[in-house]
Amino acid sequence: MGRTARTFRDALDIEENRWEEFRRTLRASQRELFDRVFEDARQHADAGSMIVTPRIMEVVLVAALMELTAKIEKLDARLWRLEQRYEELTRR
């Protein structure tokens, strides 16, 4: 029998381990941010596994960008609502 291809999640774990020395030198608060990037990538692992020959870090970075974009959009919407409310209150 042939060998089973490595899963995307396994490849992601290997990539994260490859960055361990970098992570270790970060401050604790920065480590939390770094860990979140890989957590975001895990949330998109199903999509990442659809790439025939993924470059794991590209998927990690795209997933992180998607999560950051979503957070920015939520903050923009919240800011817009607050600005509208402020304008209503100052018109009175």
Distance, in Å, from the CA atom of 89 to the CA atom of 67, rounded to the nearest integer, reads 33
pLDDT averaged over every residue in the chain? 90
Residue 7: pLDDT over 60: yes
> According to the model, what pLDDT value does residue 53 have?
73
Which band of pLDDT confidence, cut at 50, 70 and 90, is reported for residue 35? very high
Q: Is the pLDDT of residue 5 over 90?
A: no
User: 37-66: b or e for each residue (b if 16 or more CB lie within 10 Å)?
Assistant: bbebbbebbeebbeeeebebeebbebbbee
Q: How confident is the model at residue 80 (pLDDT cuts 50, 70, 90)?
A: very high
Q: Please report the pLDDT score of residue 51 as a whole number.
A: 82
